[in-house]
Chain A
Amino acid sequence: MESLSKREAFFKNEPPTAKFDPTTRDKLDHKMDKEKENGHPETSGKAPKELDGYVGFANLPNQVYRKSVKRGFEFTLMVVGQSGLGKSTLINTLFLTDLYSADYPGPSYRIKKTVQVETTQVLLKEGGVQLRLTVVDTPGFGDAVDNSNCWQPVTDYIDSKYEEYLNAESRVNRKTMPDNRVHCCLYFITPSGHGLKPLDVEFMKRLHDKVNIIPMIAKADTMTPDECREFKKTILNEIAQHKIKIYEFPECDDEEENKLQKKLKDRVPFAVVGSNTLVSVGGKTVRARQYPWGIVEVENLEHNDFLALRNMLVRTHLHDLKDVTNNVHYENYRYNKLASVATKGKEKAVGSKELNLETAEDEDSGEKYYSVFFSLHKYGI
């Protein structure tokens, strides 16, 4: 996609605050004109109108690109798992930065009597793109002797963020609403090799229709590839058995991309190893864990699935996670909240990823209520 490379060039060659170069724009114009003269405009299945020359709205994606870069991005990531599973190390490895350090210790060092939900906000900048990353962690999760309801603070937190957004959206005077909703939850599974623990199942069952869950197998260097494969199969079977809906990476339009992505998609749940120490392997310095018997490279797909996780999570589907949160999970929450008001407390757990809400009388009456509401006001009631 030549437009893609143009955008990359735009940001790679020049410093972030470069002015838009009119000469490159002219080049693009002439290229387009030539296309029009030589070739013929595409005809899609729906046969949209053919244009007899270059109009220029093909520049719309660039306009969107420009505006989004100016605005910056924000993302909230939640990490859940028992202490000592390597969550902080993985986050540091994933974002190649010292989110958790001696001054800002990870969740395993901050365990209190009850499960807490705490957030850390960092501003990252790469290639001119600014990302405000909020990492939510849950120190104390699953660490007590009695872990009943240890997911309650987590669900409460997620719901409170949705509530905040709903209130901000429903105000009469709306300003730009910061999006603090949790976009993704990385759930760390202990590498027992046997299957999911009851706590894992309970947690996922309660959160799968509130947030995008990506299950991960922590400390994957304790399992051989065969054990890992078996473990993944068991986990996926149990997930299907309990009807837990984990986040599904969507299909891509491009065939080639699809094939590449499928290979990575098949590795869910991702078995990851994290490390921020550099070790020199075969002439290169890579992130790795050094054992007496060998070196586990973090960014080697044969050693673990870290690259798959990073590529799918950060490089390809970061925005899709936000979209699914906004279009599916948030809408579910909003629907349940408002429908319970309209039909007096009858809450329906609606939700599948495709927003396949079954029609029921409640919904119709709720919708009808709003339209009645409006027409009443039209007539001054």
Chain B
Amino acid sequence: MDQPPEARHLKLNGHVGFDSLPDQLVNRSVSQGFCFNILCLGETGIGKSTLMDTLFNTHFDSTPSKHDLPGVKLKSNTYELKESNVRLKLTNVDTVGFGDQINKEDTFKPIVDYINSQFEAYLQEELKIKRSLHSYHDTRIHACLYFIAPTGHSLKALDLVTMKKLDSKVNIIPIIAKADTITKSELQKFKAKLMSELMSNGVQIYQFPTDDETVAELNSSMNAHLPFAVVGSTDEVKVGNKMVKARQYPWGTVQVENENHCDFVKLREMLIRTNMQDMVEQTHSRHYELFRRCRLEQMGFTDSESRSLKETYELKRSEHVATLQKKEEEMRQMFVVRVKEKESELKESEKELHAKFDSLKKQHADEKKKLEEKKKAMDDEYNLFQKRKAATIASQQAAQQAAQAATLSGKGKKK
């Protein structure tokens, strides 16, 4: 196929109507619904659940956790939210037990594993032969809110280590929690210190995109305010004649939505109203692609010109089939050997049985013979005895007769 010539720019002589394409796309995504997954990372009690409730103006069911958990666990909850015909499937992943252990070396492992397993699940779906990507519930983490404790000094060692491990896997948005404990001047210094520390350690936090002219200005001005110092509260306090979300102290009221008091409004603006879609896209096009590349290379796939994925797959498949066949052979061999053994065993016992049977039979025959002999002997004796008896009787009779005859003749003589 010859290469098509360069694309020509053509002028339209009227209204064709394909300027409705973005609307068509939007209609489709609205009817499909949106999906967003947030990971909240921070020490126990730093205000993660409260901030989530405040951000989304609702109460997510969560129970405050204790400090004595042996390891870090991740709890994820999915909620279906709706706001004026836009449906959002929000998944809130909370970390419990973060930073509570005495030895925090392995703290980041469960988190990294969780993020990787979400990528893995998506990769598996993408590599399936029969797949349905357009209806797949995306569970990959799109944003990670990292809660920094308001010490006023610098990042904790645990924070640095964790963020370094996560920055290539997820969009990290660091925020200073419980910002109502820092004064404005301290906050300036703290923010500057944090940003310089992050930069000097090479941590890539999420920068709001400045390539789209419509929001470039807004985003770049917000980038300068990073990290946002936030206060969360779901309690409402009457200020002036309105009920606002605030925290009431004896010395004053900290209003959550007052830009003078904290950066909550900025966070909500950036996270939800302006850059949500961009975060989803960055997760898919940058972090997921990186994961996929590493994973496929790990499995032995390369992009060499000689072999495409399909060919490598075929090769691996034939290898796999060969291994399977070998295993099958082995099993069959073993089976044959076992059968032979059993057969010989059985033959042995059969032989024994036959021998036994034969000897028994012989015994039987012998005894029978003996018995017959005995019987014969007895019969002979009996016959003899009968003969003798008959002879005795006969002789007795003869004797009696002789005696009678004698007496008769004697009587005759006497006359």
Which of B16, B217, B292 is in CB contact (< 8 Å) with A95? B16
> Does the CB pair B84–A51 fall under 8 Å?
no
Closest approach, in angstroms, between the C-beta of B149 and any C-beta of chain A?
27
**Residue of B whose beta carbon sits closest to that of A8:** B23
Give the chain A neighbours of B249 by CB distance below 8 A: none
Q: What's the nearest-Cβ distance from chain B to residue A13, in Å? A: 14
A160 contacts which of B1, B4, B289, B301 (Cβ < 8 Å)?
A: B1
B272, B293, B316 pick with most chain A CB within 10 angstroms: B272
The reply on A260 being an interface residue by CB < 8 A is no
Among candidates B12, B18, B80, residue contacting A46 with C-beta atoms closer than 8 Å: B80
Q: How many residues of B contact A (CB 8 A)?
A: 91
A369 lies within 8 A of chain B by Cβ: yes
Residues on the A chain within 8 Å of B66, using CB = none
Q: Which of A353-381 contact B (CB under 8 A)?
A: 355, 357, 363, 366-367, 369-374, 376-377, 381
For the complex formed, measure the closest distance between the CB of A43 and the CB atoms of chain B, giving whole angstroms.
8
Contacts of B293 in A (CB 8 A): 172-174
* A131 close to B21 (CB less than 8 A): yes
Contacts of B31 in A (CB 8 A): 253
Chain B hits for A32, CB < 8 A:
84
**Contact call A314/B18, Cβ cutoff below 8 A:** yes
Distance of A64 Cα from B34 Cα, bound (Å): 11
A311 and B130 in contact, given A57-B83, A67-B277, A68-B25 (Cβ under 8 angstroms): no
B63 at the interface (CB under 8 A from A): no
Instruction: Evaluate contact between B129 and A366: CB separation under 8 angstroms.
Output: yes
By a CB distance below 8 angstroms, the chain A residues around B20 are 315-316
- Residues of B within 8 Å of A339, CB to CB, are 129
Please give the distance in Å from A268's CB to the nearest CB on chain B: 19
State whether B130 touches A335 (Cβ < 8 A). Answer: yes
Contact B310 A170 (CB under 8 A): yes
* A residues less than 8 Å from B212 (CB atoms): 66-67, 70
Decide yes or no: A316 and B277 within 8 Å by CB, A17-B213, A49-B79, A56-B268 being known contacts: no
Given contacts A59-B274, A310-B17, A320-B24, contact A97 B84 (CB under 8 A): no
The verdict on A225 contacting chain B, using a C-beta distance below 8 Å, is no
User: Which of A81-89, A116-124, A199-207 contacts the other chain?
Assistant: A116-124
Contact A170 B130 (CB under 8 A): no
Q: Mark A324-349, 1 if CB is under 8 A from B, else 0.
A: 00110001001101110110000000
Complex Cα–Cα for A331 and B8 (A): 31
Give the shortest distance, in Å, between B345 (CB) and chain A (any CB).
Answer: 37
Our pick among A94, A122, A129 for the contact of B19 (Cβ within 8 Å) is A129
| Binary contact track B6-44/A, C-beta < 8 Å → 1, others 0 | 111111111111111111111011110010100000000
Is A99 in the interface zone, CB < 8 Å from B? yes
Q: Is B299 an interface residue (CB 8 A)?
A: yes
- Nearest Cβ in chain B — how far from A9, in angstroms? 13
Interface residue from B10, B24, B302, B308 paired with A319 (Cβ < 8 Å): B24
* A65 sits at the interface (CB 8 A): yes
Say yes or no for A105: interface residue by CB 8 A criterion.
Answer: no
Interface residues on A, range: 35 or more
Residues in chain B near residue A99, CB distance under 8 A: 10
Binds A, one of B85-93, B354-362, B388-396: B85-93
List chain A residues, Cβ under 8 A from B85: 42, 58
Contact A60 B22 (CB under 8 A): no
Residue B376, interface by CB 8 Å: no
Residue of B nearest to A75 (CB): B18
Is the beta-carbon distance between A49 and B58 smaller than 8 angstroms? yes
With an 8 A cutoff between CB atoms, is A318 at the interface?
Answer: yes
In the complex, are the beta carbons of B276 and A341 less than 8 A apart? no
* Contact B87 A44, beta carbon cutoff 8 Å: yes
Residue B273 CB within 8 A of the other chain: yes
- The answer to whether A172 touches B14, judged by C-beta atoms less than 8 angstroms apart, is no
Residues of A within 8 A of B132 (CB): 355
Chain B interface residues (CB < 8 Å from chain A): 1, 4-26, 28-31, 34, 36, 55-58, 79-88, 124, 127-134, 211-218, 268-269, 272-278, 281, 285, 289, 292-293, 296-299, 301-303, 308-310, 313-314, 316-317, 320, 323
**Contacts A/B (CB < 8 Å), 6 sampled:** A49-B81, A55-B57, A63-B275, A95-B16, A173-B303, A319-B25
**A: which residues have CB within 8 A of B?**
4, 7, 11, 17-20, 22, 32, 35, 41-42, 44, 46, 48-61, 63-70, 73, 94-99, 117-129, 131-132, 134, 157, 160, 166-167, 170-174, 176, 253, 310-311, 314-320, 323, 326-327, 331, 334-335, 337-339, 341-342, 355, 357, 363, 366-367, 369-374, 376-377, 381
